[in-house]
Structure 1
Amino acid sequence: MTDKYKRQLLDAGVNLESALDRFMGSEVLYDNFLLKFIQDNTFCQLKEFLSNNDIQNAFVQAHTLKGVVANLEFLPLLDILTPMTELLRSGDIEKISEQQELLEVRYDKICSIIKDNH
């Protein structure tokens, strides 16, 4: 990983030090998981289920995505997915649209950084 790439991730709110610790200090391994993240369709499925008001399946996707972003230390996404998951768990979808919009902006930003560096 280049210093520029690392700086972009840090500026986007990624806890890179903790993430690299989780990946045994291997930047190559971590970067491989970043590439897998942008290829994963969990986020797209979450959006689809939310647009169809399929709360149960949206919850499953949000919970899955929350685990992935926690492991990758994408704190700006985790900050949204944690309360969103709990709202979906309880079936309270009134506040979801605001969170969904912010999640999409932050998700797109991190994905753009990853794509721009490959």
Structure 2
Amino acid sequence: MTVEQCYKQLGGDYADIIRRMRTDERVIKFLGMLLRDDSFCQLKTALENEDYETAFRASHTLKGVLLNLSLTSQARVISELTEVLRARQANEQIGPLFDQAEMAYRQLTAVIEDLLGKKEQS
């Protein structure tokens, strides 16, 4: 899989990321950093503990990272959750939005791991 194919599969904006980062190697480096970022784990833990302040900050951070990497499809999902969490209180929309975010994040990590695994074997 190429970086462009990865972005296509994820619904990201490859033209934008390559315009800003210039090379696939740099994009790969930052995608690897995304896999090591713990914002999603912080988000999940904060929601389990009903800590809406921390959940908001974690979702806001993750949204920024995804937007900076031009991963627009996943950023949209996280953005919706971030806006609901902005109130920093319980809301019936949080559960369903988190479920969507978790599904999007799992797909994201699986595709990136596939890309990185194949790149390391090359």
Q: Structure 1 length normalisation: TM-score?
A: 0.89
The residue that corresponds to 1:115 in the other structure is 113
Contact 2:6 2:112 in 1 (8 A): no
Measure how far apart 1:93 and its partner are: 2.5
Find 1:94's aligned residue among 88, 92, 99: 92
| Separation in structure 1 between the aligned mates of residue 77 and residue 12 of structure 2, nearest angstrom | 14
Q: Percent identity?
A: 29
The residue that corresponds to 2:120 in the other structure is none
The residue that corresponds to 2:67 in the other structure is 70
Segments of 4+ moved more than 4 angstroms: none
Q: Which runs of 5+ in 2 are unaligned?
A: 118-122
Cα RMSD of the aligned pairs, angstroms, is 1.4
In the alignment, is residue 9 of structure 1 matched against residue 7 of structure 2? yes
- Number of positions where the alignment pairs a residue of Structure 1 with one of Structure 2: 115
Q: Which runs of 5+ in 1 are unaligned?
A: none
Measure how far apart 1:11 and its partner are: 2.0
Q: Structure 2 length normalisation: TM-score?
A: 0.87
